[in-house]
A and B are shown apart, each in its own frame.
Chain A
Amino acid sequence: MKPFTIDTTNGICAALFIFLGGFFALQSLGLEIGTAFRMGPGYFPLVLAIVLILLGAVILVEAVRFESEPIGHIAWRGMLFILPAPIFFGLTVRGLGFIPSIFLTALIASFASGRMRPLTALVLSACLTLFAFLVFSYALGLPFRRFGPWLPPWLVW
């Protein structure tokens, strides 16, 4: 008998689907399920969550029986800088205001690439901020505060 092995890609994939299915199933149980005639808010999601868990189980069985493609290279640096960018924008757009927030957001995202030099990043972010200000704030007139209350008043003209 060959040693018990689990394919990494499919193993993680199965675990992810089972976990997500489990999350939705547990949450659904806290809702009113109802009957097939009058379905409560929990009925349909519970059915879907169970199906998701079952599909995850099928993938798990496949993972034990077959090998698949390896996961391959993962963009760690990319994730480290790209994913926080929108979060940072969300955290600061009201406090700092649109202009400083978008500048810093672009700056953070810039560092996702190893090829970006700090000076290029600064210049790029500055140009981008100017463009975003002209297009979104000035031309389209989106109702964003340009500078927010976190900044000391003497800094903002």
Chain B
Amino acid sequence: MELLDNLALGFSTATSLANLGFCLIGVLLGTLIGVLPGIGATATIAMLLPITFQIGDPVSSLIMLAGIYYGAQYGGSTTAILINMPGESSSAVTAIDGYQMARNGRAGAALAIAAIGSFFAGTVSTFLVAIFAPPLTAIALQFGAAEYFSLMIVGLVSSVALAHGSIVKALAMVVLGLLLGIVGTDIYTGTPRFTLGIREYADGLNFVAVAVGVFGVAEILRNLENEHERSVMIRSVSGLMPTREDFRRMAAPIVRGTIIGSALGILPGGGAILAAFASYTVEKRVSKNPGEFGKGAIEGVAGPESANNAGAQTSFIPMLTLGIPANPVMALMIGAMIIQGIVPGPNVAIEQPALFWGIIASMWIGNLMLIVLNLPLIGLWVKLLTIPYYVLFPIIMAFCSIGVYSVNTNIYDLYAVAFFGFLGYLLTKLRCEPAPLLLGFVLGPLLEENLRRAMILSRGDPSTFLTRPISAGLLFVALAVLVIVFLPGVKKKREEVFVEEN
């Protein structure tokens, strides 16, 4: 069986001693930063990204990065449960019932359920990625410039649809991101564009600097707005092992959550958040006693946690096969690949099978490490929660500075960090989501290149995007998504969902 051969290749890559080590370091670092309250998975990855570049081998580097991702997600649900402070919006749902469980003295069980649910979902969705990635790759290989252009439009439009708040603002953020992504030398003519005459920006704005600024620095500034004491009521966590009754109650929600999460995760535009919400709603609906939800229902932790992990995992599918990021984290992964000299897209699976399958296998290993290592280490993570924030952010700032500088040893990248930190903070204050901007930034150059190539191939006839069936289909999907989010009914519903989330 080809699938098994491929998985075997993946596992032999991922289980080499060095890669296991990098996966472990990634998972631990990710959890370490992820449990620090107020710092979500995206910010964590943005901050740790430069470290992974120090590893020469792209496979190890991406495996570590993926490890950081799972770690950060896990760390996010830990803070959600223990101090009701979700680091990431996808664990906001976990906080609802998880925190109540912790208040009822069941913090240990809640954490264990979250970990077990995530592990199960991770296992299933790893297989899904392995099964669905190759056929999608085969389809993607037939894509021409026009199809790629239309596909990216779909990705960008969906990121708009799933952003919080105003759709117009999200659209503006995408466009701004695209423009920022174009800064640098034009590939066709070699003309420098928008560099303000600064030679150091000729290669474009450094992706890491933009990500660290917009997500990392801006988030620190937001946390500094009102510094108040965090109350950590749980000083020690005991009773990790769920009871037999817990196991019975969480089995079905975990399975349902996994299915919902896997399906929604493939959708471009931030599937994990949507998945967690959908799962919570479903669990509440099928439950025999819905009144328990919000007061510490096990199902309310098990379902969404599985769903968000499954979604996080299957969002790798569009990233690995098409090179299209489904959410900001995947945008970071793509940025990392480009820096490592790998062009994301369907060719990755063919030209670099060890990398492709190694990442898939390491997803499962990373999840295993999380459950084996983090549950026993929970005491340590709880201690971390008591570190005051004012001690943390100088450390984060120093490491961000070193990290960004180490990518290209370009001091102008550090000025970009400050600028994008400011811009990111300003835009958050103006209620603009940073996620679409980052997506636009990553896709900007690719979008332009494919647009120009498609237009040259069609001799300047823009109808090429509509006469090629796949391209036309994709554009239709993008249009449909836009129309749907602007429909008054959906608009209202959408606002309700996000209000509930906050």
By the criterion CB–CB under 8 Å, are B182 and A44 in contact? yes
A127 CB to closest chain B CB, in angstroms? 9
A13-B430, A16-B430, A140-B54 are known contacts. Are A82 and B414 too (CB-CB below 8 A)?
no
- Contact among B189, B191, B224, B427 with A77 in the assembled complex (CB-CB below 8 Å): B224
- Which residues of B389-445 have CB atoms within 8 Å of chain A's CB atoms? 389-391, 393-395, 397-402, 404-406, 409, 411-415, 417-418, 421-422, 425-427, 429-432
Q: Are B191 and A31 in contact (CB under 8 A)?
A: yes
Give Cα distance in the complex from A17 to B214, angstroms.
16
Q: Contacts A44-B182, A115-B388 given: A32-B397 contact, CB under 8 Å?
A: no
Interface string of B428-468 (1 = CB under 8 A from A): 01111000000000000000100110011001101000000
Contact, CB under 8 Å: B389 / A84: no
Q: Which residues of B contact A78 (CB under 8 A)?
A: 220-221, 224-225
Given the interface pairs A75-B222, A79-B425, the reply to whether A9 lies near B172 with Cβ below 8 Å is no
Q: Is A151 an interface residue (CB 8 A)?
A: no
- Kindly state the separation between the CA atoms of A142 and B455 in the bound complex, as whole angstroms: 44
**Complex Cα gap A125–B398 (Å):** 9
Q: A55 to B172, Cβ gap below 8 A?
A: yes
In the assembled complex, A119 has its CB within 8 A of some CB on chain B: no
| Residue in B220, B388, B399, B459 whose beta carbon sits within 8 Å of that of A82 in the complex | B220
Which single residue of chain A is at the shortest CB-CB distance from B390?
A113
- Please give, as numbers and ranges, the residues of chain A lying within 8 Å of B224 by CB-CB distance: 75, 77-78, 82, 112-113
In chain A between 1 and 53, which residues have their CB closer than 8 angstroms to a CB of chain B?
9-10, 12-13, 16-17, 20, 24, 27-28, 31-32, 35-45, 48-49, 51-52
Q: Are B193 and A27 in contact (CB under 8 A)?
A: yes
Q: Is the CB of A52 within 8 A of B430?
A: no
Q: Give every chain A residue within 8 A of B415 (Cβ-Cβ).
A: 86-87, 90
| Cβ B179 vs Cβ A24 within 8 A | yes
- Chain B residues with Cβ below 8 Å from A59 are 166, 168-169, 172
Is A37 within 8 A of B394, CB to CB?
Answer: no
Say yes or no: A132 contacts B172, CB within 8 Å.
no
Kindly identify which residue among A20, A31, A84, A116 contacts B390, using a CB–CB cutoff of 8 Å. A116
Cβ-defined contact, B456 with A136, below 8 A: no
The A-B contact count (CB < 8 A) is 197
- Chain A residue with Cβ nearest B396: A109
Decide: A83 near B217, CB < 8 A? Known: A116-B390, A132-B398: yes
Residue of A nearest to B449 (CB): A44
Contacts of A44 in B (CB 8 A): 182, 448, 451-452
Do residues B176 and A52 form an inter-chain contact, with CB atoms below 8 A? yes
Known A41-B188, A72-B429, A93-B405: A86·B417 in contact at CB below 8 Å = yes
Mask for A68-83, Cβ within 8 A of B = 1, else 0? 1101111101110011
Within 8 Å CB of B194, what residues of A? 24, 27, 45
A121 at interface by CB-CB < 8 Å: yes
Task: State whether the Cβ of B226 lies closer than 8 Å to any Cβ in chain A.
Answer: yes
Contact of A73 among B169, B189, B226, B394 (CB under 8 A): B226
The answer on a CB contact under 8 Å between B188 and A86 is no
Q: State whether the Cβ of B227 lies closer than 8 Å to any Cβ in chain A.
A: yes
Nearest B residue to A51, CB-CB: B175
Chain B residues, CB < 8 A from A37:
455-456, 459-460
Produce 1/0 per residue, B376-392, CB < 8 A to A: 00000000000011110
- CA A58 to CA B486, docked complex, whole Å: 14
The answer to whether A85 touches B397, judged by C-beta atoms less than 8 angstroms apart, is yes
When C-beta atoms are compared, the residue in chain A nearest to B448 turns out to be A44
A41-B189, A41-B193 are contacts. A49–B460 as well, Cβ < 8 Å? no
Bound Cα distance from A68 to B495, whole angstroms? 13
Q: Which of A132-153 contact B (CB under 8 A)?
A: 132, 136, 140, 142-143
Q: Give Cα A79–Cα B393 distance, bound, in whole angstroms.
A: 13
Do A83 and B421 form a contact, CB below 8 Å, given A9-B430, A75-B225, A125-B394?
A: yes
Q: A17-B176, A140-B54 are in contact. Are A82 and B169 (CB under 8 A)?
A: no
B179 neighbours in A (Cβ, 8 Å): 20, 24, 45, 48-49, 52
In the bound complex, do residue A79 and residue B221 qualify as a contact, i.e. CB atoms below 8 Å apart? yes
Report how far A40 CA is from B188 CA in the complex, Å: 8
A15 vs B427: C-alpha distance when bound (angstroms): 12
Q: A41-B186, A113-B389 are in contact. Are A62 and B193 (CB under 8 A)?
A: no
Q: Are A86 and B397 in contact (CB under 8 A)?
A: yes
Instruction: Flag whether B14 is at the interface (Cβ < 8 A).
Output: no
Report the Cα distance A46→B54, complex, angstroms.
Answer: 37
Contact between A55 and B168, CB atoms less than 8 A apart:
yes
Question: Considering the complex of A and B, which 9 residue pairs feature the smallest CB-CB distances, nearest first?
Answer: A37-B460, A90-B414, A78-B224, A113-B390, A41-B186, A90-B411, A13-B430, A109-B397, A55-B172
7 inter-chain pairs at a CB distance below 8 angstroms, sorted by A residue, are: A36-B460, A52-B172, A55-B172, A55-B175, A86-B414, A106-B398, A114-B227
Besides A13-B427, A62-B166, A86-B418, 15 more A-B contacts (Cβ < 8 Å) are A9-B429, A27-B194, A36-B455, A38-B456, A44-B448, A45-B193, A48-B175, A59-B172, A75-B222, A77-B224, A91-B411, A106-B395, A112-B220, A112-B393, A114-B227
